[in-house]
Structure 1
């Protein structure tokens, strides 16, 4: 009888584990599809810019400059647009230098040793070594190597186009800059918002998951949230790159000058968004420990983390449309107030760290909304000290701008 009961219990446990594994796989699959779709939409404007720049570079080089084989013009144009979202002026110069190095090395060596497979290997190797020696970055190195390959491949068919190759590179690079700045300038605020969305949405989602885990005493759920938190830092790199690209767009494109103010607000808040991500990681980690150790968890503790998640969502939403994030301030202070109540009601060691991290992360969010450090700290202290049951909620309209 006991053996049969153990078999049934083991079967139920296995079924639960299978269901949990399938659920994790489904969630991961949905997240992957969502992330890929987001990435495609994010890069669609760059793809259109690259296509238009390549076509215009070909037309100008072939029909206006008389180059019968304008290969390097569209290559330089595509490289200028697509090599990086930010710092295009510097990268366009690097790409032109890379083309010049590749052409010079390739033409010289082919004149001396001829063309062929082993000659191709030598040309590429020397082109890369010389470019690195001259201090070129990855874009220069890649372009020099690719250009050297094309030189070897095209020389037998087109022996007298050396001077036009450098002109092609210049034409392609400057046409790409014209497309970026004048013809199809991206909306810099939308560019940054799309880059920030994966990071901030993932942060808010995992904070919400942690709140639910605390409310339902589910350490496994909190652990999964902690594991997913590690992915956010990768998205933050994309946000920083998009911010630099957006700032460059507001400088180059007269049509986007009106976005400078909103983008500056996002740019100045990025540092504190990054702090909020790091502090939230510590928060979730300590929440896992509190659950595993069976520490007391008053209902106001998950309430605080849930309010913090709402603050992150409101921050992204308001910054993304260029408005003052007052709703994010309201949610952040509500989180601090709930965390203060949780501390008064009694928490363990890890729970007290969670409370402290709620306060720290809320302060980061307030700083990201444009509030100075001293004022943010004052508001946090005030929110901790007030009794939410007897006082009206913070009026977001009254907070400093």
Structure 2
């Protein structure tokens, strides 16, 4: 009940997961936990014991920023981090030399450092680190005899970022497996959407078509997650020699995900059009339902194509046959909605065929009915 929540006016943003599901999530991130522990310890130890920095807090902070903030872009994240710190240090040191430290000086430094970073074209983490550098260097008075804080902050940012990259190389994710664990369930969900939609067409059930549409809309978050995983996987495969053999597979998955994304969008349009047909009293008929069933079969077989390219011919046969059935259905009764449904069947089949490696020229020949 809402009254049981401490802030009932705020939405419940955390997913409702069982204890077992939460533990499974933690187990699934064991590599990240090892990287965080190793990178922060390595960065802090190096800055403290090798470089002799007395308060090397920013080295482990930089390692965390690079590990957690640079999904698939950690090389760029490290560069941005260093650029932001460099600009913040440069501008702040010049201002402190002229105006000194104090309350109004801090406010002025933050404004001018941020403005300088924006003028330089920095954004995101680089802009944040530029402003943070200005705040820290202005607010913290150096201890007599201690190293220059500007120099130590710059060095620590480099040490932390490099430590993060070292741990990424030593403990890379199994890129191929991670992608397979996301892509195959995604295709299974798309197959389920199409199966539900075909059933709604056979039974002239607009509520079931709406349920299929709702489920298709829910797949967008999953495809976005898979695309992010692909970016991480590509980075892992490029960074770690132990994963270099997976680079070809990762590129194939990346291309496939773009086509699957298009197929999911087509499924949403298809479900909306079918729902509209039935609300207007049009019966989709057995032929169009059979065409959507063929799509579902083809998507199901395509799951196996990812692991065994030898299944490609079977997937192509089911998808091409679904388009032929849809085109033949137009001879029964031609309406705008029926033509739109047939066109969406063709579009969705084409996207999955593209994902399977068929070229556009081949597609034009094979789907010419």
Q: Which TM-score applies when normalising by structure 1?
A: 0.74
Q: 1:130 to 1:255 in 2, by over 3 A?
A: same
Aligned residue for 1:138? 124
Shift of 1:314: 4.4
- Whole-Å separation in 1 of the counterparts to 2:173 and 2:38: 14
Bigger Cα displacement from structure 2, 231-240 vs 299-308: 231-240
Q: 1:317 to 1:114 in 2, by over 3 A?
A: farther
1:214-260, Cα deviation, whole Å (9 max, x unpaired): 23322233234334544544554444443333333322211111112
- Whole-Å separation in 2 of the counterparts to 1:33 and 1:346: 48
1:168-213, Cα deviation, whole Å (9 max, x unpaired): 1111111211211x21111222344456467645544433332232
Shift of 1:289: 1.0
- Whole-Å separation in 2 of the counterparts to 1:313 and 1:44: 31
Q: 1:166 to 1:48 in 2, by over 3 A?
A: same
Q: Does 1:165 align with 2:157?
A: no
Shift of 1:369: 0.7
User: Alignment partner of 2:285: what SS?
Assistant: coil
Bigger Cα displacement from structure 2, 344-353 vs 183-192: 344-353
Preserved CA contact (<8 Å) 1:296 1:346: no
Aligned residue for 1:126? 112
User: Alignment partner of 1:299: what SS?
Assistant: helix
Which of residues 273, 282, 291 in structure 2 aligns to 1:295? Answer: 282
Aligned residue for 1:49? 35
Q: Does 1:175 align with 2:145?
A: no
Aligned residue for 1:22? none
Preserved CA contact (<8 Å) 2:201 2:285: no
Aligned residue for 1:306? 293
Which of residues 200, 204, 207 in structure 2 aligns to 1:213? Answer: 200
Q: Which TM-score applies when normalising by structure 2?
A: 0.80
Which of residues 58, 75, 100 in structure 1 aligns to 2:44? Answer: 58
Q: Does 1:96 align with 2:76?
A: no
Shift of 1:312: 3.4
1:137-160, Cα deviation, whole Å (9 max, x unpaired): 312112223333443454466864
Which of residues 70, 75, 88 in structure 2 aligns to 1:84? Answer: 70
Q: 1:315 to 1:112 in 2, by over 3 A?
A: farther
Preserved CA contact (<8 Å) 1:204 1:313: yes
1:351-391, Cα deviation, whole Å (9 max, x unpaired): 2321221122111111111122222333334xx6xxxxxxx
Q: Does 1:368 align with 2:359?
A: no
Preserved CA contact (<8 Å) 2:137 2:150: no
- Whole-Å separation in 1 of the counterparts to 2:15 and 2:331: 41
User: Alignment partner of 1:294: what SS?
Assistant: coil
What RMSD over aligned residues (CA atoms) do the two structures have, in Å?
3.4
Q: 1:101 to 1:322 in 2, by over 3 A?
A: farther
Aligned residue for 1:148? 134
Preserved CA contact (<8 Å) 2:284 2:338: yes
Bigger Cα displacement from structure 2, 66-75 vs 198-207: 198-207
- Whole-Å separation in 1 of the counterparts to 2:105 and 2:182: 43
- Whole-Å separation in 1 of the counterparts to 2:213 and 2:163: 46
Aligned residue for 1:280? 267
Preserved CA contact (<8 Å) 1:272 1:364: yes
Q: Does 1:329 align with 2:316?
A: yes
